[in-house]
Amino acid sequence: MSLKSERSEIHRLPARGHYDRETIYGILDANFLCHVSFLMDRKPFIIPTAYGRDGDDIYLHGSAKSQMLNHLASGAEAAIAVTQIDGVVLARSLFHSSMNYHSVVVYGKGHEITDPDAKMEGLRIISERIWPGRWDEARIPDEGELSATKVIRIHITDGAAKIRTGPAKDNAEDYALDIWAGVVPVEMRYLIPVTDDKFDREMKIPPTVMRRITH
């Protein structure tokens, strides 16, 4: 089913727009940092935060005193944006210089999760999106920590992905210019981990960490 709506429809370069769940959710699942925007007291706010997805729902978490989460818990609407930069496109002209990217904007209403088991599951979904396998390695939240944490579920009602790929698209006459053009690829890399210096014994880095290191 398409997530296209009047507000999510892409008008600028519409050929780059995608409204199918497979594309949109694929981009969401390749990332874990989003920006959540909302209106509160007639003022606009935008907050970066980690997220996880399960089905048509996005999960957010944070302090029980969080202004954003308490606002969303009331059923307020939010727009959630995720952007993945794949490359910097350097054209022969500054006008046609651009970026290659995969981006998503989705919309939905917030709902607070209060059931302890469902709340813990929401936290697990977020944790596993950030670092798969860590939930089974680390100590899970205790009762006090769970009480101090608010978990919000946002059901996705509509949205769109926008994707740019490929080389620079210069004006025909600019191809004769003696100016280098091309794409500089960009990627997020995990480097060699630095073990916490509070250990009083040697600790082996777990496989869940080692398998994501970029050699």
Residue boundaries of the structural domains of the chain: 14-210
Per the structure block, which two tokens stand in for 39?
A: 């209106």
pLDDT band at 130 (very low <50, low <70, confident <90, very high): very high
Question: Which tens digits make up the pLDDT trace of 44-90?
Answer: 999 999 999 999 999 999 999 999 999 999 999 999 999 999 999 99
The pLDDT mean for the chain works out to 96
pLDDT of the residue at 200? 86
Per the structure block, which two tokens stand in for 165?
A: 């790929």
At 13, give phi and psi (nearest 5°).
Answer: 55, 60
pLDDT of the residue at 213? 86
pLDDT band at 215 (very low <50, low <70, confident <90, very high): low
- How many Å apart are CA 168 and CA 90, to the nearest integer? 7
- Enumerate the H helices of the chain as residue ranges: 21-29, 67-72, 116-130, 143-147, 207-210
Q: Does the pLDDT of residue 111 top 90, yes or no? A: yes
- Enumerate the H helices of 10-153 as residue ranges: 21-29, 67-72, 116-130, 143-147
Torsion of CA 27, 77, 35, 151, to 10 degrees: -90
Q: Does the pLDDT of residue 99 top 80, yes or no? A: yes
Question: Which tens digits make up the pLDDT trace of 6-26?
Answer: 999 999 999 999 999 999 999
CATH homologous superfamily of 14-210: Electron Transport, Fmn-binding Protein; Chain A (2.30.110.10)
- How many Å apart are CA 31 and CA 45, to the nearest integer? 22
Lowest mean pLDDT among 80-89, 156-165, 176-185, 188-197: 188-197
